[in-house]
Amino acid sequence: MRGIITTIFAGLALILSACNNTKSEKTPEGVTERFVSAFNTADFQNMYAYSSKKSHILLDNLAKQHNDTDLEAIRSRKIAIDSTTVTGMTDSTATCVCYFKIKSGAENDEWQSARQEWDLAKEGDDWKVLLVKP
């Protein structure tokens, strides 16, 4: 009896974790959401992690364009993802639109609605955002 209950709970835990993981790092939507958060808060480490290898040169140039004061202001932003939708997809490419709210670090600043569209491609088994054409 104890074994049956343990098996049932293990099965339920597996089902719940699968439901929670719909926007994981393995889906175009999940990668897009993580990249959007990183991109809008100057989190270059995660921008590199979620973008294609060819895009890294562009990210290097982007990082050099900002001084420390600019980067500090950008990093203080708050992001709240509303939704992300795949608007086109093949086996190796996807286009996602991410709707989110953004707020600067200032106390009196209000949340602003925003939208970004990103193209993605598979690199190996992983989805990556394309900042440059392949």
The 10s digit of each residue's pLDDT in 92-133 is 999 999 999 999 877 778 999 999 999 999 999 999 999 987
Position 4 pLDDT exceeds 60: no
CA–CA distance, 85 with 120 (Å, rounded to integer): 13
The 10s digit of each residue's pLDDT in 37-58 is 999 999 999 999 999 999 999 9
| pLDDT at position 90 | 95
Sign of the CA dihedral with 11 first, then 15, 17, and 21 last: positive
Q: Which of 30, 56, 33, 53 is nearest to 44 (CA)?
A: 56
Residue 28, judged by CB atoms within 10 A of its CB (0-12, 13-18, 19+), counts as: buried
CA–CA distance, 91 with 114 (Å, rounded to integer): 28
| pLDDT at position 21 | 40
Unique residue bearing structure tokens 């992001």: 79
Q: How confident is the model at residue 22 (pLDDT cuts 50, 70, 90)?
A: very low
Encoded amino acid at 41, one letter = T
| pLDDT at position 14 | 41
CA–CA distance, 110 with 106 (Å, rounded to integer): 9
